[in-house]
Amino acid sequence: MHELKSTPKRYQNPEVFELLAMEYAVGSLQGRARERFEVLMDTHFYLKATVDAYEAKFANLVELLPEKKPSDAVWNNIQAHIKENPVEDVTVEQEVKTPWWQTSFFKQGFGMAAALAVVVIALNVDPKTGIDPAAIASYTAAMEYDANGEAIATTKIQKSEMKLTIDIMKPMVVADGMELTLWCHPKSGAKPMKMGTISKTGITKLDISEEEWINLQNIGSLAVTVEKQGKEVVEPTGRRILKGQLSPIKS
């Protein structure tokens, strides 16, 4: 049995961590060893990616199982949960069904700003070759409203300021007792990183640490979820209402 505690760097050895990842995926890594490995997975994306790959392979074993129908109560409870947590938790003010280029949102220039952000991203990023992490000066994301794909927020993270700035350009109506939380989603599919609570309208600035800046290299997208006010959440629990790809911009 491989022990994680004896030599902390051992998990960086592929011979060791791949076997641990297999043990985790198959379920034989248990107790405190499993908990320690989960802590390491949160900070080391390669561990999570290796576990994901083996979990997907072992999950094919489900195909061999005989079927067992659950009771009707299970679906009824799931359905009740969905109804209690509808998409309508949040709406965009003055939602209209006219073409996007005729919306008041776009006429007010907000859409233009979002479109500009997309163009800036397209001009500065080479998705095929990628960018040397040392050359990255900032990251940006145009975030869209999930329901209709309308861009309503832009996010910029600048190394010079070590701040994340999110601009909600179209006010959002959020139910009483709810708040908006910003998350970074790793490319590996690992657990998202909470960045903080943001305002329902206008600009919010959040400080970022050196470690968070470095970790941004591994982030694929940003998302905003609606969470219960004052509730300490470590992973998204509410409906996701904004999403956008995070792209690096060269200095």
Partner 1 sequence: MEDIYADLLHKTAKGDQLAFKQLYEQASPKLMSLSLRLMRTEALAEDVLQEGFIKIWDKADTYTPGKGKAMTWMSTVIRNKGLDKLRSLKTKPSETEIEYEGLDFASSELEPEGLQDLSQDIQGLMTCLNKLKPDQKECILLSYYYGHTHQELADKLDKPLGTIKAWIRRGLEDLRPCMN
Please select the residue that binds partner 1; options are 5, 9, 60, 230, rule is CB under 8 A: 60
With CB under 8 A, what is the number of residues at the site for partner 1?
50
Which residues in 72-132 belong to E strands, given as ranges?
90-92
Footprint of partner 1 on 174-193 (CB under 8 A): 185, 189
| Separation between Cα atoms, residue 247 and residue 209, nearest integer Å | 19
End-to-end CA distance of the chain: 47
| Separation between Cα atoms, residue 82 and residue 159, nearest integer Å | 40
Secondary element (H or E) of residue 145: strand 136-145
Footprint of partner 1 on 113-132 (CB under 8 A): none
Give the three-state DSSP class for 183: strand
178: β partners: 228
6 binds partner 1 (CB under 8 A): no
CB-side neighbour CA atoms (13 Å) of 36: 15
Please select the residue that binds partner 1; options are 3, 13, 26, 251, rule is CB under 8 A: 26
Min dist CB 178 to partner 1, Å, is: 15
Stretch that binds partner 1, among 67-75, 117-125, 132-140, 193-201 (CB under 8 A): 67-75
Alpha-carbon torsion angle 177, 178, 179, 180, nearest 10: -170
Handedness of CA 37, 42, 46, 52 (dihedral sign): positive
Min dist CB 135 to partner 1, Å, is: 27
Min dist CB 138 to partner 1, Å, is: 25
Please select the residue that binds partner 1; options are 116, 119, 135, 147, rule is CB under 8 A: 147
Stretch that binds partner 1, among 3-11, 26-34, 98-106, 156-164 (CB under 8 A): 26-34
234 binds partner 1 (CB under 8 A): no
89 binds partner 1 (CB under 8 A): no
Give the three-state DSSP class for 21: helix
For residue 58 the two structure tokens come to 């072992």
239 binds partner 1 (CB under 8 A): yes
144: β partners: 151, 243
Report whether 223 contacts 234 (CB < 8 A): no
Min dist CB 27 to partner 1, Å, is: 5
72 binds partner 1 (CB under 8 A): no
Please select the residue that binds partner 1; options are 46, 54, 113, 156, rule is CB under 8 A: 54
> Would you tell me which residues interact with partner 1 (CB under 8 A)?
1-2, 18-19, 22-23, 26-28, 30-31, 34, 52-71, 73-75, 77-79, 81-82, 87, 146-147, 185, 189, 236-237, 239-240, 243
